[in-house]
């Protein structure tokens, strides 16, 4: 008789940098509106002589935006990057970067032809030496002035349309603090107090997940360049069901100060960090951009937050409910979107949390953590000052990744038009250079060269625990489905082509959530 030996494989489908490059902030570059720096390798713009890229017109989408921002021509982020540059480097093959000097995400080597996948791990699973290395890398980034990038301290209009550049040096870490401020700031309409608050090019709309994914990838890349550690990857903080800030210890992100509960313990290097771009109301009142000057220490008082906004940290049940939502975005695709995966993940309150999760919180998921931290993290524009921001958003990104694998959305699920300004599929993400379109990151992390350890662990768990169950039940069911005539060798069956009755329900439920999950059956005759 036939005896079926079964092994389960889960097969996943696998198909720089940000503003402002120092070389593109000269008077000449701004007046010509061209950001095509020379690549040092061959001395040509965009590395054209070596086939790395070329200087091209920046094409922008003409699809209509939603009604939330009723102005045109007043904000430097509109139709990014055209206010500052209409020609940029377009890189070929696996090359990337403002001058095509870097590699696309997931590629390494001098010629960007080495494909590697890095693993983002739970921060609590790091060894002592790995924790020390993480903290030292963060502190090095905070103390080192960025060689490649500067930040804008004035609008293009204030710069005399390019004739009087207004930029400042900041650290490698603070480039990213500034970027998060810049993408989320209010629109400056001209004059003190004249701002439009209902605009955000990276939040409360469809680009929330893709934008922060690109942000983390660039941040990771800059740490690798700074330290020379190409194996570095961002750890994540799994805050599901946590009773408090369990990363707030001096060997991680800093404990609470005994002298002032809103400050970080002097036993942590983070207690000496200074924040920038954290005073949104001051900038709005004056009608100006953040000038990147220091504004005091990081503040954090986790758990002593407004309980009317957030009851507690998100639970496993809330994460699972969020993942169950089949539609990426709905309705107006803003913070009012109901039963939208994106809005629920971001923290918008909807009917589901009221009726299913039974949460009374006005904000949930991603936003709940920011409120819970009760300090620098709680202001959107200044939240990246706290290094917990990176750990938090890595976990938020992993939930986005789970949703992509579970639901396998068609590219058309990402909206091409009528999303709030900055969020349509073909819109270039502000303020990144090189250019990235929102819809380009509506794809699995594995296509971008990274994976999350707990997603791998789920696979291993099912491979080990389900093997005996499969051995007993699947063989009989396969034969009953007419597969008993299969010859010696290997039979590959895509889980999504199988009927539910073919597999035990719990296993089918798990496997059906995994992108392109395939069962590999080794069949051989056994004499019994």
**3-class SS of residue 510:** helix
Query: What are the phi and psi torsion angles at 251 (to 5°)?
Result: -85, -5
Structure tokens at 404: 């992509």
Mean pLDDT of 416-434: 98
Q: Classify residue 79 by burial, with Cβ atoms within 10 Å: 0-12, 13-18, 19+.
A: buried
Q: At what angle do helices 172-184 and 128-143 cross, to 10 degrees?
A: 70
Residues whose CB is less than 8 angstroms from the CB of residue 337 and which lie 6 or more positions away in sequence, other chains included: 329, 330, 331, 343, 348, 350
pLDDT of residue 307: 87
pLDDT of residue 331: 96
Spatial separation of the C-alpha atoms in residues 494 and 467, rounded to whole Å: 17
Instruction: Evaluate if residue 338 carries a pLDDT over 70.
Output: yes
pTM, to two decimals: 0.84
Convert the pLDDT of each residue in 52-89 to its tens digit: 999 999 999 999 999 999 999 999 999 999 999 999 99
Instruction: Evaluate if residue 322 carries a pLDDT over 90.
Output: yes
How does residue 217 score in pLDDT terms, banded at 50, 70 and 90? Answer: very high
CA dihedral 181, 185, 191, 196 (to 10 degrees): 180
First to last CA, the chain: 7
What residues pair up with 8 in beta bridges, in sequence order?
519
pLDDT of residue 360: 63
Structure tokens at 431: 């303020």
The average confidence (pLDDT) of the chain is: 87
What residues pair up with 87 in beta bridges, in sequence order?
34, 57
pLDDT of residue 13: 30
Task: Give the side-chain half-sphere CA count within 13 A for 373.
Answer: 31
Convert the pLDDT of each residue in 456-488 to its tens digit: 866 544 444 444 444 444 444 444 544 443 333
Instruction: Evaluate if residue 7 carries a pLDDT over 60.
Output: no
Mean pLDDT of 37-62: 98
Eight-class DSSP state of 513: T
Eight-class DSSP state of 354: I
Instruction: Evaluate if residue 15 carries a pLDDT over 70.
Output: no
Sorted by where each begins, the domain ranges of the chain are 2-14+457-525, 305-373
């Amino acid at each position: 008789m036939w005896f079926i030996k079964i092994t389960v494989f889960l097969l996943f489908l696998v198909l720089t940098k940000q503003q402002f490059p120092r070389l593109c902030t000269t008077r000449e570059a701004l007046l010509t509106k061209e950001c095509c720096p020379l690549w040092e390798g061959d001395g040509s713009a965009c590395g054209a002589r070596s086939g790395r890229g070329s200087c091209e017109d920046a094409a922008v989408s003409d699809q209509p935006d939603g009604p939330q921002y009723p102005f045109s021509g007043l904000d430097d982020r509109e139709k990014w990057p055209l206010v500052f540059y209409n020609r940029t480097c377009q890189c070929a093959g696996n090359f990337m970067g403002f001058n095509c000097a870097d590699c696309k995400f997931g590629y390494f080597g001098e010629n960007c032809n080495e494909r590697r996948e890095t693993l983002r791990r739970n921060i609590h699973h790091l060894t002592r030496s790995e924790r020390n290395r993480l903290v030292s890398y963060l502190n090095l980034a905070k103390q080192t002035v960025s060689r490649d990038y500067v930040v804008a301290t004035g609008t293009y209009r204030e710069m005399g349309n390019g004739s009087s550049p207004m930029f400042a040096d900041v650290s490698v870490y603070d480039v990213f603090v500034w970027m998060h401020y810049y993408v989320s700031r209010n629109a400056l309409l001209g004059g003190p107090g004249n701002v439009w608050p209902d605009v955000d090019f990276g939040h409360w709309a469809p680009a929330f997940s893709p934008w922060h994914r690109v942000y983390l990838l660039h941040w990771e890349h800059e740490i690798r360049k700074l330290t020379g550690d190409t194996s570095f990857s961002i750890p994540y903080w799994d805050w599901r069901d946590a009773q408090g800030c369990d990363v707030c210890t001096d060997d991680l992100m800093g404990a609470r100060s005994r002298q002032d509960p809103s400050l970080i313990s002097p036993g942590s290097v983070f207690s000496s960090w200074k924040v920038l771009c954290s005073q949104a109301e001051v900038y709005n009142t004056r009608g100006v951009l953040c000038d990147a000057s220091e504004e005091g220490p990081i503040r954090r008082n986790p758990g002593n937050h407004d309980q009317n906004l957030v009851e507690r940290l998100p639970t496993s049940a809330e994460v699972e409910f969020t993942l169950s939502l089949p539609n990426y975005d709905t309705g107006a695709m803003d913070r009012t979107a109901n039963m939208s995966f994106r809005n629920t993940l971001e923290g918008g309150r909807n009917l589901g949390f009221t009726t299913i999760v039974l949460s009374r919180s006005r904000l949930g998921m991603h936003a709940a953590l920011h409120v819970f931290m009760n300090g620098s993290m709680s202001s959107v524009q200044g939240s990246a000052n706290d290094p917990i921001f990176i750990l938090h958003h890595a976990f938020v990104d992993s939930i986005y990744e789970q949703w992509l694998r579970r639901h396998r959305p068609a590219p058309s699920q990402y909206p091409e038009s009528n999303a709030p300004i900055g969020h349509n599929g073909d819109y270039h993400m502000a303020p990144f250079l090189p250019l990235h379109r929102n819809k380009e990151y509506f794809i699995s992390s594995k296509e971008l060269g990274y994976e999350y350890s707990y997603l791998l662990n789920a696979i291993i768990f099912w491979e080990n625990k389900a093997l005996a169950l499969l051995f007993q039940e699947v063989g009989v069911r396969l034969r009953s489905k007419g597969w008993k005539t299969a010859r010696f060798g290997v039979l590959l069956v895509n889980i999504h082509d199988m009927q539910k009755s073919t597999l035990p329900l719990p296993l089918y439920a798990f496997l059906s959530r995994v992108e392109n999950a395939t069962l590999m059956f080794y069949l051989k005759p056994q004499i019994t």
